[in-house]
Amino acid sequence: MRHLIDITDLELTEIDGLLDLADDMIAHRERYADSQRGRILGTLFFEPSTRTRLSFESAMLTMGGNVLGFASADSSSTAKGESLQDTIRTVSCYCDIIAMRHPKEGAPVAASLCSDVPIINAGDGGHNHPTQTLTDLMTIRREMGRLDSLTIGLCGDLKFGRTVHSLISAMSRYPNVRFVMISPPELRVPEYLTEMLRAKNIEFCEVEQMESVLPELDILYMTRVQRERFFNEADYVRLKDTYVLTPEKLRLADSRLRVMHPLPRVNEISSKVDSDPRAVYFTQVRNGRYVRMALITRLLEVCE
Ligand code: NCD
């Protein structure tokens, strides 16, 4: 049985295969309409979500499967003091595969150790979010035609932003990728990631200003300041408006640039940017459903 806890659980050839399958699912949706009939996906969300949970559910329903689950910890027996282990042992009796989101880093690994069905990490605290990364990789490949030889700007809360951590892990495996990390000093990428980049001799720089680096980027990956992970509200208030992408700033960037964001956005991208053809964050949303269809399909195949 296979789980997806960390994006590096997948070989690059497996990621390519998932992206190929997701492309095919977009092109020929009708062929997959019954492919998961009789199967059940459990969505256990101990933390808020709109896109991740609903895209998983939409993915399973689109393939003729069914879904069950909960959208917040307080509507489950967690509120009565049940352990994660007992919740997982229980839910794995009711479904064939589980997507889970939890505020504690490492919770999906703990779940995988006591689950009878595949566990998919749909976000664990400020740590990882591998299925958002599959969505991001699919979007980059469809937009740019490749996953190598790219300069990727990551902007905002690089410390707590789990989508950023998984994206760096994934993109650092492709040749000739450079990272430009744009954040205030307090929200820099965790050291374990910069150490990994140094050890692999991958080019990166850390800057505070967005404007000066915009012209050199292929991708600008904006992120929300992760209010829920701050220890004090005053720090959040001080840092929350550090970066706001506007049409005026985007004039500094190349026409080949793509602006990405895992969403939800607060105010870090002006809604006036939405009509710019370089803005692809709602394309990411669309892709998220299909790449999760592909992932569910592959993980369940292994169980057969
Ligand atoms: C992200 C998350 O939950 O980490 N959202 C998502 O899944 N698309 C990003 C965020 O909450 O800022």
Please write the tens of the pLDDT for every residue from 228-244. 999 899 999 999 999 99
- Is it the case that residue 129 has pLDDT exceeding 80? yes
Residue 302 has pLDDT above 90, yes or no: no
Ligand 1 atom at minimal distance to the Cα of residue 163: 4
pTM of the model: 0.97
Residue 35 scores a pLDDT above 80: yes
Residue 157 Cα: closest atom of ligand 1 = 12
Ligand 1 pocket, CB under 6 A: 51-52, 123, 129, 132, 162-163, 224, 262-264
Cα of 98 from ligand 1 centre, angstroms: 18
Dihedral sign (CA 113, 114, 118, 120): negative
pLDDT band at 245 (very low <50, low <70, confident <90, very high): very high
Taking the centre of ligand 1 as the mean of its atom positions, its distance from the CA of residue 161, in whole angstroms, is 8
79 confidence band (pLDDT: 50, 70, 90):
confident
Examine domains 7-128+287-303 and 130-284 and report if their fold is the same: yes
pLDDT of res. 20: 98
Mean pLDDT of 153-162: 98
Q: In 3D, which of 216, 221, 300 has the Cα closest to residue 254?
A: 216
* CA–centroid distance, residue 136 to ligand 1 (Å): 12
pLDDT computed for residue 51 by the predictor: 97
Domain edges within the chain: 7-128+287-303, 130-284
**Positions marked catalytic:** 51-52, 80, 101, 129
Q: What's the pLDDT tens digit per position in 8-23?
A: 999 999 999 999 999 9
Q: Which CATH architecture has domain 130-284?
A: 3-Layer(aba) Sandwich (3.40)
User: What average pLDDT does range 138-155 have in this prediction?
Assistant: 98
- Our mutation pick for probing the ligand 1 site, out of 120, 121, 127, 132, counting the most ligand atoms within 8 A of Cβ, is 132
Mean pLDDT of 271-275: 98
Q: What is the pLDDT of residue 32?
A: 98
Model pLDDT for residues 172-206, shown as the tens digit of each residue: 999 999 999 999 999 999 999 999 999 999 999 99
Beta carbons of 20 and 298 less than 8 angstroms apart: no
CA–centroid distance, 53 to ligand 1, in Å, is 11
User: How high does pLDDT run on average in the chain?
Assistant: 97
**pLDDT tens digits, residue range 46-62?**
999 999 999 999 999 99
Q: Which residue type, as a one-letter code, is found at position 79?
A: A
Half-sphere exposure of 64 (CA within 13 A, CB side): 11
pLDDT of residue 57: 98
Q: Give SS3 for 121.
A: strand
pLDDT at 221 over 90: yes
Q: What angle do CA 158, 136, 285 make, to 5 degrees?
A: 105
- What CATH superfamily classification does 7-128+287-303 receive? Aspartate/ornithine carbamoyltransferase (3.40.50.1370)
Q: Looking at the predicted structure, is the pLDDT value of residue 295 above 80?
A: yes
Question: Is 80 exceeded by the pLDDT of residue 304?
Answer: no
pLDDT tens digits, residue range 82-112? Answer: 999 999 999 999 999 999 999 999 999 999 9
Cα separation, 76 vs 64, in Å, equals 26
pLDDT at 303 over 90: no
> What is the torsional sign of CA 67, 71, 73, 79?
negative
